[in-house]
Chain A
Amino acid sequence: MSPQDTQDTRGPEGPTGVSDGAKTKSLGYGRPSGTSPVWLTVTKWVLIALTVGVLAIVAQKTIEQGAWIGVVIAAFVAMCVVVVYGTRRAVPLKYLLPGLILLVTLQIWPIAYTVATSFTNYGDGHLFSKQVSIEQVIANSVREVPNAPRYKLSVAVKEKSDPATAEIFYLLTDPAGKTYLGDKVGLSDLPAADVEKAPNGRITKAAGFQILTAIQVNARKDLSTFAVPTKGGGGIKSVGLSEAFEGKAIVSYDKATDTLTDSTTGKKYVAVNARWEPADGQGGAFPQGWKENVGFKNFQNVLTNETLRAGFLKIFAWNFVFAVVSVGSTFVLGMLLALLLNNARLRGKGLYRSLLILPYALPGFVTALVWSSMFNQDYGLINKMLHLNVDWLGDPWAAKAAILITNLWLGFPYMFIVCTGALQSIPGDVLEAAKIDGASALRTVRSIIMPLLLVAVGPLLIASFAYNFNNFGLIFLLTGGGPFEAADTSIGSSDLLITYAYRLAFSGVSPNYGLAATVSIFIFAFVALMSYQGFRRTKALEDVN
């Protein structure tokens, strides 16, 4: 413990001035600082203790799940918190640590996870390990043995043993009323004299056994793997609380050859492409595949697969045009309206302004759905009012126009607000000077207002570009990426990269998170490059000042 800490704990006893002096002396870099009052110290340590406590709980949970890396991370964060805030050494880190932790958990970690996923085949049918897939296939192949009896079941343990852990016994009654005792070795007779039965035949009492209650049975997780072996190689398994059936797995796994065999058909299944494919190539594979590393296959796929690549380029081109035109059109309209309503002589400016902001105030999702119904060729408002017969949502070009029109409606109020704000901050004397110099209105706008406006609005335009580049909601609700052309339903004419990645990952043929992660890495690279360029340009704009 450093001397400062001793000072701190002494707290209010010493006058602040004294401890202050002591502190300045002992601190090598002579930073003037006041001793914290005792309540602050207490609060600090309570907060540190709380943080560590929460992290301990997190660690406990991760231990339960067997995720050791989580424990290590929690312990590391706890140590960082104690070291940074418990001591007086790392002052800059006191400010940086929360942000740093959030940066890592909310930005770096998702990126790392996405990158990691892009090297796998993770997706529907490839969610778990090979071992689990074998277990699943076998467990799902258990069939009821034909003509075997259905038993009434009572689950029991030996008398005076622990219901939660003791060896399980099945007390069974067959449809004829005969009673049996089943254990992990096999089935044996249970003399009728030793048992009491309910009217339905279920055993309610048996000498030497303790019958478990429903809650006790439910708590026995080992029941799922418990079966009473029978002569035919099957086993008697429970169905719920009170019934048992004789079942037999028809698929078995051979570790030596790494094959699954279906005993009813004799068919062998081998591991191909992370799935169990029939060895003879006839028929389908088992649906349960497993997750595995596929290296650069997904990247290779995006870059070389003809449909994917052609689609990717097409989508990218439209995505770029969409973002640029959206930003451009909304900015121009917003700015013109802002200039118009900035005129000092105009009356009722407040009213006009609030009316113009309305589209912005309405939730975008609702607006997009409403526009979607207005664009209906036969029943939509637009075709009816304008006496047109445009297939807005069915024609690739019309659909693109529809999207841009809707986005103009959705986006101009934002630009209007921003420009109004920026216009009002342009000093009046500059404009006055222009007037005195005899500049026309147009000239004033071009040479005075625009440059000053762009300084303020430029970065916002780039932000707006990045937002529109990934404007998922609008496309999804308005056209769903459609219309789909050329007999290809994976790539729509109005798809953005983000809606395309969504279709790959969450819907369509079979959700493929690995491929979608790869596509999002490409999107990330594009947006990053373009934003970098954009920000460099706005720096140039600032030179106007």
Chain B
Amino acid sequence: MHKRAIGAAAITGVAALLLGACGSSTTPAAKPSSTTTTTAAPAPTTTGPPVRDAAADLVIWADADRVPIIQKYADAFGKENGIKVAVQVATDVRQQFKDATKVDKGPDVIVGAHDWLGELVQNGTVAPVNLDPAVAAKFAPQAMAATKFNGQSYGVPYAVENIGLVRNTALAPTAPTTMDALVSEGQALVKSGKATNIMVQEVGKTGNAYYTYPYLKAFGGGIFATNAAGGYDATKVIVNSPGSLKGAAELQVLGKAKALSTNVDGTNVDALFDAGKVPFYITGPWAIDKAKKANIKYAISPLPSLTGGGKMQPFLGVQMFYVSAKAKNATFAQEFVTNYVPREDVQLALFEAGHRPPALTSAYDKVAATDADVKAWFEAGQGGQPMPNIPAMNSVWGPLGQAAADVIAGKAQPKARFDAAQKEIVANIAKG
């Protein structure tokens, strides 16, 4: 998920720099962060990092989309306890939280993606959150699992997101169940001139490990093997396992067929699909708003299966509330996160902000009854595993993404390239 957002993050960073005018020109605004930046870079109300509101009794940092909704419930919480709650916009929550907490100026609570967890724990910036097991049981098990690191839980989830197959129903009325069917249908459309591409998916010159993973997983490959406790084992990298190599071979085939291309990246992929001449688009809920605006008639379905393997299974990304380990108001922070966030009305309201399936089962059921998209996203994520949240994952994004890009571009053979990637990842983990 790191690399997928780099374009948006860079643009956000640039916007911030431009607005900041004479601000320092090397602000590291574009640390490829997770989902918070994927939602089409909202115009930030503040340009630099937020400054902790000193007058507030509870400070929450979130991205611009979610702030208004959290504010509403934060106000209710503040009224109940007679305190002032400040909800502030952070343009890059992950990095800004890390920097501010280092100098003891961080917020009490942050809202972010679960794959930041390993890094946050490693740097001692988040505190365990002991949710009542009875309350925890009301959440989707995968969502709860994603909040855990080394067996400890560090937050409360509110949304689950994953990629699926989005198709332009004007070009492709029915959803293909296999990649072969998808490619032949796409090729026919390209030949007849109705389409410009067979399908689009974010790849880019440096590749994208998040979108590469489902291809490897379809053949039983992946990134890390799981340990006895069910967590990912950083000492067992399986990027060049036989299953992963079959997935890599599939990438080569799709690259040759021009279904995948390194010239499609985060900056142009939406525009290509929204031009109405691309039948299939492998993406997540973040791309839907733009497609709607472009008046594309779309439908969402699970990822297709690959010949000789199984269904492509995406990573699950979980959005959650964290409590800072250096919270100045730890009691209020814990109270808000454990008693407010699991409420159904809060989860439903947060759904309105991002249109991701809620993590609370009862809230999901309510939404899914009326919203077909949410149901489709949820079904596309069935069987998916949470994205690894161990710090070792930071050693994977670059090498795996680049390996996939090189194979797709036809610059390297799958086996040799993925062997090399495996070697680089293992060496990087040993270094870290």
Q: Which residues of A contact B (CB under 8 A)?
A: 65, 124-125, 127-128, 132-133, 136, 139-144, 150, 213-215, 217-218, 220, 223-224, 237-243, 245, 247, 283-284, 287-289, 363, 365-366, 369, 372-373, 376-379, 393-394, 472-473, 476-477, 479-480, 482-484, 487-490, 502, 506-510
Contact = CB atoms under 8 A, between A and B. Distances in A.
B132 A507 contact: no
Nearest to B206: A482
B338 interface: yes
A502 to B, nearest CB: 7
A379 B277 CA distance: 14
A266 B177 CA distance: 49
Interface of B: 6, 10-11, 14, 17-18, 25-26, 28, 30-32, 57, 81-83, 102, 104, 118-119, 121-124, 127-134, 150-152, 205-206, 233-235, 261-264, 267-268, 272, 325, 329-332, 334-339, 391, 394-395, 398-399, 401-403, 409, 417, 420-421, 423-424, 428, 431-432
B336 to A, nearest CB: 8
Contacts of B30: 476
B123 A510 contact: no
B330 A510 contact: no
Contacts of A218: 57, 83, 329-332
A201 to B, nearest CB: 13
A75 B339 CA distance: 48
A338 B380 CA distance: 61
A31 to B, nearest CB: 40
A269 to B, nearest CB: 13
Nearest to A483: B205
Contacts of A127: 102, 123-124
A240 B402 contact: no
Given A369-B14, A480-B206, A509-B432, 11 more contacts: A124-B391, A140-B150, A140-B152, A150-B132, A150-B134, A215-B82, A218-B331, A240-B331, A287-B391, A365-B18, A483-B206
Contact of B268 (A136, A283, A376): A376
Contacts of A506: 28, 31
A238 to B, nearest CB: 7
Given A240-B334, A240-B335, A214 B81 contact: yes
B432 A510 contact: yes
Contact of B124 (A132, A366, A483): A132
5 contacts: A127-B102, A220-B331, A241-B335, A243-B338, A283-B235
A369 B83 contact: no
B32 A484 contact: no
A373 B268 contact: yes
Contacts of A489: 206, 398-399, 401-402, 424
A139 B30 CA distance: 32
B69 to A, nearest CB: 21
A204 to B, nearest CB: 15
B239 to A, nearest CB: 12
A247 B152 CA distance: 12
B18 A238 contact: no
A421 to B, nearest CB: 24
Nearest to A282: B235
Given A240-B339, A473-B25, A473-B26, A142 B14 contact: no
A125 B335 contact: no
B419 to A, nearest CB: 9
B432 A472 contact: no
A488 B424 CA distance: 7
A234 B251 CA distance: 52
Contacts of A510: 391, 394-395, 431-432
Contacts of A377: 263
A62 to B, nearest CB: 13
A487 B424 CA distance: 8
B235 A284 contact: yes
Contact of A366 (B14, B104, B403): B14
A142 B234 CA distance: 23
Given A247-B130, A484-B402, A284 B234 contact: yes
The 10 closest A-B pairs by CB, nearest first: A240-B335, A487-B420, A489-B398, A287-B122, A510-B432, A240-B334, A378-B263, A214-B81, A218-B331, A125-B122
Nearest to B103: A65
A489 B331 CA distance: 43
A468 to B, nearest CB: 14
Contacts of A508: 394, 398
Contacts of B133: 144, 150
B403 A487 contact: yes
A529 B218 CA distance: 55
A143 B151 contact: yes
Contact of B132 (A224, A238, A243): A243
A487 B405 CA distance: 11
Contacts of B150: 140, 287
B114 to A, nearest CB: 15
B425 to A, nearest CB: 9
Contact of A242 (B17, B233, B339, B399): B339
Nearest to B102: A127
Contacts of A241: 81, 331-332, 335
Contact of A288 (B124, B423, B424, B428): B124
B263 A214 contact: no
A394 B235 contact: no
A241 to B, nearest CB: 5
Contacts of A502: 26, 28
Nearest to B329: A218
Contacts of A394: 205, 262, 409
Contact of B331 (A223, A245, A284): A223
A82 to B, nearest CB: 30
Contacts of B57: 215, 218
